Structure 1
Amino acid sequence: MPRFALKIEYHGAPFAGWQRQKEQPSVQQAVEQALRKLDPSVDTIAAAGRTDAGVHGLAQVAHCDMVRDWDPFRLSEALNHHLKPAPVAILAAARVADDWHARFSATERRYMFRLLARRAPVTHDAGLVWQVKQPLDRAAMQAGADRLIGHHDFTTFRSTICQADSPMKTLDELRVEEIARPDAVEYRFHVRARSFLHNQVRSFVGTLERVGAGAWTPDDVTAALNARNRAACGPVCPPQGLYLAGVGYKDDPFAP
């Protein structure tokens, strides 16, 4: 059976997360239902990573096996037709080897978190950012972020329901970008690693926001990391500002 990789964009607000769940809408379910309109034999799809309720996808990657050897462009067009009106889009499809796996072949995951500082309520960005009222100190947040880069025991920044075998992870990038807007200041947190713990990125951002607000120092971030205790973490920020921004592979299946 031919195997296809799918690059998927979605707005997470209407969904209980990526993973199929009983009696709750999920992104996985929406894509699988569209696939079965084309091939009733499709059982399930596998994704590069799960996202929680309210989290968005800019370039999630999944794979599926189908009976027909579709032209990739026609497959993506047909799926987008059947996905309407769900806020899910297939950005690209690609034929891949039978042993290629969206999750296990991945070499890195990239996340972006959007934090918007302004006093007026959010309108156009509602559901797409985490809003705070006052501007933050980007340099201080970056100094705190730098304390987290590298190979560490991230127990402090791991959800108590995380199912990973080990809290040890290597964080390759945690970069804080500041974007001036006429009505606000936006901070974007760019995070990159081979894999992540449950709630790890949201725990990072919630903690660094405290640094930017002056309630914590970069040394407090180091102390929290070294505590290896979930109680030492700063507030976990809400999900709506988080985006799965991309997945890396040794050979990009979507490369021209």
Structure 2
Amino acid sequence: MTIFRWQNCHADVATAMHGISVQSFLDDVIVPSIQVLEEKMHILSRSDEPAAAFALSDAGDVLRETKMAFGLSIQSIWERQLRGYLRGCAAALRPHEGLAAQAEKGNWRRLRELFLELRGIGLEAFPSFSELDKLHLLGNACRHGDGPSATELARHCPELWPDYLLAPANANQVTATAPPVELMDIPLDRLRLFCAAIVTFWDDAEYIYNESIERKHPSLEARLAQERTQRSWWPAAASDEVVR
């Protein structure tokens, strides 16, 4: 198999901490915050105070809104990272074509087109794309509320509406009406999956960057030789990706 390579630029180097930043946000901010709220709900659920039931309901609403806010934050971090990367690639590789400005203002579809144009491989080729595409829908739903993105998100991730989509009489019957965003309850494990997708994407991008270095140090050659035997994904040398 011919190893895929792209033209390296400084933008590749600038992404070195992207995955680490996202993982730190998950481990140091998201998880502890959710655990604090869950512990508060646990204490309230065991309380004999008359007002505890009302406080428990309010705490549940706060927890649900907090997880939605974190979902939006994760998507915003990812989008800023991707836009910055594409701006850097455009400035270095095709500086006089206005692509950097498009990277700043383009929608999700245009960003995917730009990635293919600038890197020679589509975002869709990356194993993490499916989760990143869902993350885009989640960000839109959390930011704008009910609408096309929320409807599509419900089709792909019905588990985000556990109390709405499953009819009490038949747990296998899904309601036909699109669920309201205000009832969305994002599991912590789903937030973990979104963060893992971002980390995996930047790890894969780093792998391509390392393979694309023309004069490799022997230590890098040795590391890549081992990594090739361990990786579950190798990008093809030629991409026929079609942007959806």
Max Rg structure: 2
Give TM class, smaller chain.
Answer: under 0.3
TM-score, normalised on structure 1? 0.25
Higher helix proportion (structure 1 or 2): 2
Name the structure, 1 or 2, with higher relative contact order (CA <8 Å, separation 6+).
2
TM-score, normalised on structure 2? 0.26
Higher strand proportion (structure 1 or 2): 1
